Each structure stands twice: as C-alpha cells, then as structure tokens.
Amino acid sequence: MSKVVFETEDEEEVKVDKDWKPRILAFLCNWCSYAGADLAGVSRIQYPATVRVVRVPCTGRINPFFILKALTDGWDGVVVSGCHPGDCHYISGNLVARRRFALLNELLEFFGIEPGRVNFMWASAAEGERFAVLIEKATERVKKLGPNKRFLKKW
C-alpha cells in the first residue's frame, strides 16, 4: 500500500495511508442541510463514506462546546452545515450561528487546531449535489491534515 507523507506544523511526520478514511462528525440542521443530504441520497449522488450525521434543529443550536468536544474526543474533522443566510427556518438562527462560529474559528486557531478540521458551510434542501461536493472537499481537507492527534497524550 502506498504511503503519503504530510508534515504538520509540529514538524512531526504524519504518515497517512492513502486509503485512510477520516471520521468526520457532521452537524446538520433539520430543515436545510439534513434535507439536502437526504436529497443527495434520493438522487444517488455518491460521496466519500466519511461523515456521521448528528441532526440538530438549527445551526443556532450548536454550542461551540459540541465542536470542541468532538475534536478532543478524537473525531478527525467536524462539519457544520445549515440553511443559507437569510433562509433560516427560524428567521435568524443561522446568522447567530455564523457570528458564533466566526469567533470560534479564532479560538480554534489559538488552540492550535489546524484550519480545515472544522468546516462551516451552507446547503439548502434542494442542494443535494452541492452537499455532496462540500463533503468531498471537507474530506479532502481533513485527509490532508491526517488523523486528529493534537489531543492525544504521548506516552
């Protein structure tokens, strides 16, 4: 099996198997992205088998703790997807979430979490194809970063 070598900021060599499939946790809002993911299914659009889905009513529900917890708990990546700005089923929940995640991004950087591990995106209920493309992209980004090991204790 061919091996690809990536370098991280720690100058530590991360050996990533080409066939390695990252485990990504996706928080999808019930009204847009979850329905969009369903549409991808109904349309039989194929995307990498990397995401596990947690359904939430709205991206506004997602407490930053959830994302931090997912990372400290060893998920290789996180995807957060909701309705397009302006189209929120709950008027402004996704806008609240957008503000929150803009801050969270800075915090994550401060923590030393590689950009690309946490992916925020929008996909409507009609955008099954877009959902699949976004998942593909997120998978690529996480794949490049390799397994999430920043929270693992080295003995």
Q: Which stretch binds another protein (CB under 8 A): 5-13, 80-88, 110-118, 138-146?
A: 80-88
Query: Which of 90, 98, 121, 144 forms a contact with another protein (CB under 8 A)?
Result: 90
Give ∠ CA 53-74-59 in degrees, rounded to 5. Answer: 35
Assess contact for 93 and 58: CB atoms under 8 A: yes
- Return phi, psi of residue 60, to 5°: -60, -20
Please state, in angstroms and as integers, the Cα–Cα distance from residue 90 to each residue in 5, 93, 96, 101, following that order: 45, 6, 11, 18
Choose between 5 and 86: whose C-beta lies nearer to another protein. Answer: 86
Here's the x/- map for another protein, 114-133, by CB under 8 A: it reads as ----------xxxx-x--x-
Q: Which stretch binds another protein (CB under 8 A): 8-16, 66-74, 111-119, 147-155?
A: 66-74
